[in-house]
């Protein structure tokens, strides 16, 4: 049954006869995000023409290439700027932005905090693999302190960003974190994020064995999924833990759930007022 549904979704939503085979390495988490995205849009019943996927550059950015919606594969770090323009021009469009941790929090970090501050009505999916995957494994703003990368061969000396805390501080309307190990929960968070008004962020922990795992003593991609199973815990459980039990754990769930309308709604309401509408 699930297999039949999977085949139907492939035919309905993927550019299966044009853009495949895909570029993802065996065990890459990004393909699971792609599955979750397609299932979520299908379950929500959004017409394909009412969805626009905007992505930056990176392995994560490739997701936009594979799906048969309105899609824009933009420049590294600038996906949110394109998405902002699309949403302001066409507020009825469901605009979903896909970025890596490098894309969203390094080169595009300024756009992330201002999209949150502005409350533009787009959904940002941040695929966090703790590394620059596509370009060979340089450290990113979420590479944990002490871990190894191509540019930190003796261990990362800098602190890392916590995406959820960053977006909370920047006043995003909706902030959640999931993982590709918990795929069913991911589907429901993704639907929640897509349907919530204003700026929504869903951070998704998505392993990259090729560029991060191998350098950090993971034996295989499976080892990385087992790590997610052990370390990603529901936020309620996390909040009930003492400080020592929290060490190494990643809280998951919904952290902010406001329903403030996006700036595009306020803008059009104001425009109509000044054009003599109300």
Ligand X SMILES: Cc1ncc(C[n+]2csc(CCOP(=O)(O)OP(=O)(O)O)c2C)c(N)n1
Binding site for ligand X (CB under 6 A): 57-60, 75-76, 100-103, 107, 127, 129, 131-135, 140
**Burial of residue 68, with CB atoms counted within 10 A of its CB: 0-12 exposed, 13-18 middle, 19 or more buried:** middle
Distance CA 218, CA 79 (A): 31
Report the nearest approach of ligand SF4 to the CB of residue 276 (Å): 52
Of 218-237, binders to ligand SF4 (CB under 6 A) are none
Which x/- pattern over 92-131 shows residues binding ligand SF4 (rule: CB under 6 A)?
-------------------------------------x--
Is the distance from CB of 108 to CB of 78 less than 8 angstroms? yes
C-beta of 63 vs 120, nearer to ligand SF4: 63
Token reading at 110: 């300024």
Beta carbons within 8 Å of 178's beta carbon, 6+ residues apart: 185, 186, 189, 190, 202, 203, 204, 205, 252
DSSP, res 167 = H
Which x/- pattern over 54-93 shows residues binding ligand SF4 (rule: CB under 6 A)?
-----x----------------------------------
C-beta of 133 vs 253, nearer to ligand X: 133
Interacting residue ranges for ligand SF4, rule: CB under 6 A: 23-25, 28, 30, 59, 129, 133-134, 208-211
């Amino acid at each position: 049954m699930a297999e039949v549904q999977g085949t139907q979704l492939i035919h309905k939503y993927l550019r299966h006869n044009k853009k495949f085979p895909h570029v993802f390495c065996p065990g890459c988490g990004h393909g699971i995000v792609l599955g979750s995205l397609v299932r979520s849009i299908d379950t929500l019943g959004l017409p394909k023409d009412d969805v626009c996927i905007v992505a930056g550059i990176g392995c994560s950015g490739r997701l936009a290439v594979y799906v048969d919606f309105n899609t824009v594969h933009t420049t590294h770090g600038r996906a949110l700027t394109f998405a902002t323009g699309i949403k302001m021009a066409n507020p009825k469009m469901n605009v979903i932005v896909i970025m890596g941790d490098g894309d969203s929090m390094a080169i595009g970090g300024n756009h992330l905090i201002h999209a949150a501050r502005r409350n533009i009505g787009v959904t940002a999916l941040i695929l966090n693999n703790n590394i620059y995957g596509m370009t060979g494994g340089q450290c990113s703003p979420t590479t944990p302190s002490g871990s190894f990368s191509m540019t930190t061969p003796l261990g990362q000396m800098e602190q890392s960003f916590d995406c959820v805390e960053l977006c909370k501080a920047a006043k995003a309307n909706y902030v959640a974190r999931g993982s590709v190990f918990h795929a069913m929960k991911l589907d429901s968070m993704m639907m929640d994020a897509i349907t919530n008004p204003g700026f929504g962020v869903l951070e998704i922990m998505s392993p990259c064995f090729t560029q991060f795992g191998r350098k950090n003593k993971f034996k295989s991609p499976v080892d990385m999924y087992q790590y997610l199973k052990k370390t990603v815990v529901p936020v309620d459980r996390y909040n009930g833990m003492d400080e020592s039990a929290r060490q190494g754990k990643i809280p998951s769930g919904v952290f902010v759930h406001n329903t403030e309308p996006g700036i595009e709604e306020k803008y059009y309401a104001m425009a109509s007022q000044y054009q003599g509408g109300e």
